[in-house]
Amino acid sequence: MGQDQMEVCGVMASRSDDKFANVAWSPGPSGSPVITGSIAYIDCEIEAIHDGGDHDIVVGRVIELEILESKPPLVFFQGDYGTFG
């Protein structure tokens, strides 16, 4: 996502049951959602799922990737948003 998509990032990080209900998107090659306005996407098929304790570790096989826009990326690190310096 781009720096201009902080609000969308918040929706995706929420505990909402339907995170895509109020977010514009279109289907990627596999049918997975590509969020409108994103800088790029990586479309994958699930290759394996491993137990990571309180999380699952999902390994994907890339089937397509594309750069959609050239704009500053949204960076989240140590609990805050920032930029590349």
**Sign of torsion over alpha carbons 6, 51, 27, 72:** positive
**Residue 84 belongs to some domain of the structure:** no
Look up the CATH number of the domain holding residue 20: 2.30.110.10
For residue 83, name the pLDDT band (cuts at 50, 70, 90): confident
Kindly state the average pLDDT of the residues 62-75: 93
Q: Hey, what are 9's tokens?
A: 């990032």
Instruction: Look at residues 66, 80, 79, 77 and name the one whose alpha carbon lies nearest to residue 38.
Output: 66
- Which pTM does this prediction carry? 0.79
Residue 82 covered by a domain:
no
Range of the domain at 52: 3-75
pLDDT over 70, % of the chain: 99
What's the number of domains the chain is made of? 1
Quick check: is 50 in a domain? yes
Please report whether residue 60 resides in a domain.
yes
For the segment 38-54, the average pLDDT, to the nearest whole number, is 95
- Which tokens in the block code for residue 35? 């969020």
